[in-house]
Amino acid sequence: MTPNPAGAVLAGRRPERLPVAPVFGADHAAARAGVPLRDAMTDGDRLAGVLLAAHEDYGGDLLVVFSDVTVEAEAMGATVRFSPDLPPHVAEPAGEIRKLDPERDGRLPVILRAAALARAALPPDLPVLVSLKGPFSLAVLALGMDRLLALAIEDPPKARDAVLAAAESQEAYVAAIVRRGGIPLIGDPFASGSVLGPGHFEALALPGLAGLVFAAHRTGSPAAIHICGDLRPVQRLVHRAGADLLHLEQADFAAATAAGSVVLGGVPTDVFLRDEAAVRAAVRAAANTAPPGHRFILGTACDLPTRADPELARAMVDEARRLPWSP
Amino acid sequence: MDAPPPVLEDLARSVLELDREGAVRAAGEALLAGVPPETAITAGLAEGMRRVGERFAAKVYFVPEVLVAGRIFYAAMEVLAPHVARQPDAAGTMVCAVVEGDFHDIGKNIVKLMVEAAGFRVVDLGKNVPAERILEAVERERADLVGLSTLMTPTLDRMARTVKILKERTSAAVLVGGAPVDRAFAAKIGADGTAPDAAGAVALAREFAGRRRR
Ligand code: B1M
């Protein structure tokens, strides 16, 4: 059997074919399986079930275990609202940041159970990335955006303390993910260059990201970071976090690989709400603009939209596998 | 023509430099110097917010800076507002909202801040707002304008439905925006206009409010 090309790339080897991965979360996987979102997001077996079913259908070279962005904030006491057809959102922030026990608190055990099941079900060299929130985004979701963003300017030491408290809590989650055989994928949407400038990124987002990457490395695991939106204003700082894999949207991929990371991305997610021709064209365009060398996994720039047509995810993988490739 | 009093520049600069104490102090100094509070608001504070918008567009400022500038604007307004002889007519009333199904409100909050700083009364309905609730607010507030925002492609349909209902049932001008919205889409769904950023939204709001007054 051919070795998994995404695993090869992450291990620093040349893959035998271009690795490809439509990235999706529980919302998409549950919707396509006809499972109510809330059920998939609150039950580890069902979460693993819908994710694995979508993975098997699409045939990507890696799997991301991702439920939604509110998991840790909810465990800290935020009120989270679920609705039938949308990912949940924070209706009322927790107002505080407290240290979580990933084996016990909120839905963290649900995610860890899904991670363990997914790991056991898939070939050992297929990377299973498990999503957790970056400390800055977790602090925003737990304390409220207005409060944290205003503190960032009006009382920077307090803002830094809040983010560091979030990072300390996430360290235990990183270790728990690695124990399940998952690779921590630190998602930090509020640290996007669409929201934060370099000054605040460096002061508030970078220390926590770097700390969590180091926490993963200490256990011998690689670590990944996902930031969507326009990364360019903060990209050189993101490289300093030392992640092995960067899952990015608007960014300079060549600079990221030159800085030593594998890049995952290239295909904008809005094409999955159009048609097959648009998806196939986007895959070819992504391959044409791929960074030099073999540090690239052709993936969706962010998660597949909830209602994306599964046919289009299959077309993405099929098109990537047709591309000419010289190992 | 007389040169503008230096305190107006102090007000604008304090907002721009995110200097809360400076802005509140300059507001007091403007009153002591006998500058009409209306002038201090429009030529001082609002001018500062306009410059903040320029820095945001140039990616010198980012979201935290704009939100904090907004807080400083309102802190200084609290000093000036009680001394305004007669509440000046707002440039117009805008009802703004993020459409149903979408919880992304950072962009809408920035648009709201800039439109308000430009002298409009803004009624903010928040995020994930159904069309019917927007319609109700437009009628209740006798709004001249509606500002709708969405960042997600799947919620463009809800934006279209909201615009249709508003155009059928009210005479308010409907402006739409957010990353997946472009001119072609705005025209297709019957919106009156779209802008790529907050400064553009202010210009459109002025244009449509002006047309309604004529
Ligand atoms: C009336 O006239 C006007 C005129 C101009 C107007 C206007 C109105 N409204 C806006 N404008 C314009 O002026 C503003 C100021 O200049 C501008 O506003 P913007 O809002 O564009 O800009 C802001 C100042 C800064 N930009 C932002 O705030 C958005 C940044 C990104 C990274 C983003 C963030 C931060 C978040 N997100 Co999400 N998020 C992404 C974004 C990535 C990207 N590529 O943009 C986007 C928007 N998110 C997306 C998704 C899918 C999601 N998000 C989700 C959640 C979140 C967070 C909570 C983590 C957070 C939102 C926090 C908040 N309170 O808003 C979920 C959505 C839940 C929901 N139902 O809403 C979730 C579904 C993820 C999930 N699986 O849970 C994607 C939408 C894809 C699509 N096209 O459909 C996305 C593009 C990321 C991606 N690449 O896939 C202009 O657009």
In a domain, B120, yes or no: yes
pLDDT, tens digit, 9 for 90 and up, residues B125-157: 999 999 999 999 999 999 999 999 999 988 999
Q: Which two tokens stand for residue A73?
A: 């904030």
Is A149 within 8 Å of B63 when comparing Cβ atoms? yes
Q: Is the pLDDT reported for residue A2 higher than 90?
A: no
pLDDT, tens digit, 9 for 90 and up, residues A19-71: 999 999 999 999 999 999 999 999 999 999 999 999 999 999 999 999 999 99
Structure confidence at residue B213 as a pLDDT band (50, 70, 90): low
What is the spatial distance between Cα A161 and Cα A139, in angstroms, rounded to a whole number?
10
Q: How far is CA A277 from CA A22, A58, A59, A168, in A?
A: 16, 17, 19, 46
Q: Is the pLDDT reported for residue B212 higher than 80?
A: no
Interface of B with A in 31-70 (CB under 8 A): 59-65, 67-68
Q: Which two tokens stand for residue B46?
A: 């609002």
Average pLDDT over residues A89-103: 96
In a domain, B1, yes or no: no
**Ramachandran angles phi, psi of B83, nearest 5°:** -100, 0
ipTM field = 0.91
Q: Do residues B208 and B107 both lie within one domain?
A: yes
What is the spatial distance between Cα A261 and Cα A256, in angstroms, rounded to a whole number?
6
From first CA to last CA, the distance across chain A in angstroms is: 16
A67-99 burial, b for 16+ CB within 10 Å, e for fewer?
Answer: bbbbbbbbbbbbebebeeebbbbbeebbeebee
Q: Do residues B168 and B197 both lie within one domain?
A: yes
- Read off the DSSP letter of residue A63: E
What is the spatial distance between Cα B195 and Cα A55, in angstroms, rounded to a whole number?
39
User: Which CATH number goes with the domain that contains B55?
Assistant: 1.10.1240.10
Identity at B63, one-letter amino acid code:
V
- Return the bridge partners of B93, or none: B121
Residue partners of B34: CB distance under 8 A and separation at least 6: none
pLDDT, tens digit, 9 for 90 and up, residues B164-205: 999 999 999 999 999 999 999 999 999 999 999 998 999 999
What is the spatial distance between Cα B177 and Cα B150, in angstroms, rounded to a whole number?
7
In a domain, B106, yes or no: yes
- Number of other residues whose CB lies within 10 A of the CB of residue B203: 14
Structural domain count of chain B = 2
Interface test with A, best of B15, B19, B63, B129 (most A CBs within 10 A): B63
Q: Do residues B96 and B70 both lie within one domain?
A: no
> Which of B62, B68, B153 has its CB closest to that of A273?
B153
Is A153 within 8 Å of B61 when comparing Cβ atoms? no
In a domain, B199, yes or no: yes
pLDDT, tens digit, 9 for 90 and up, residues A132-167: 999 999 999 999 988 898 888 889 999 999 999 999
Whole-number pLDDT of residue B2:
65
User: Which CATH number goes with the domain that contains B119?
Assistant: 3.40.50.280
Structure confidence at residue A86 as a pLDDT band (50, 70, 90): confident
Q: Does domain A5-322 have CATH number 3.20.20.210?
A: yes
Residue partners of B170: CB distance under 8 A and separation at least 6: B135, B138, B139, B143
A98 touches A152 (CB < 8 A): no
Q: Is the pLDDT reported for residue B88 higher than 70?
A: no
Angle, CA of A306, B151 and B202, to the nearest 5°: 170
- Return the bridge partners of B173, or none: B145
Residue B84 in contact with partner chain A when CB distance is under 8 A: no
pLDDT, tens digit, 9 for 90 and up, residues A163-211: 999 999 999 999 999 999 999 999 999 999 999 999 999 999 999 999 9
Q: Do residues B71 and B175 both lie within one domain?
A: no
Q: Which residues of chain A make contact with B130, given a CB cutoff of 8 A?
A: none
DSSP B12-52: HHHHHTT-HHHHHHHHHHHHHTT--HHHIIIIIIHHHHHHH
In a domain, B151, yes or no: yes
Q: Do residues B26 and B116 both lie within one domain?
A: no
Q: Do residues B68 and B109 both lie within one domain?
A: no
- In chain A, where are the structural domains located? 5-322
Q: Do residues B17 and B63 both lie within one domain?
A: yes
Last residue of some domain: B83, B109, B143? Answer: B83
Identity at B62, one-letter amino acid code:
F
Q: Is the pLDDT reported for residue B214 higher than 70?
A: no
Q: Which domain holds residue B23?
A: 6-83
Identity at A159, one-letter amino acid code:
A
In a domain, B13, yes or no: yes
Q: Do residues B163 and B140 both lie within one domain?
A: yes
Q: Do residues B134 and B164 both lie within one domain?
A: yes
Q: Do residues B100 and B170 both lie within one domain?
A: yes
Q: Do residues B96 and B73 both lie within one domain?
A: no
Q: Do residues B14 and B100 both lie within one domain?
A: no
What is the spatial distance between Cα A233 and Cα A315, in angstroms, rounded to a whole number?
33
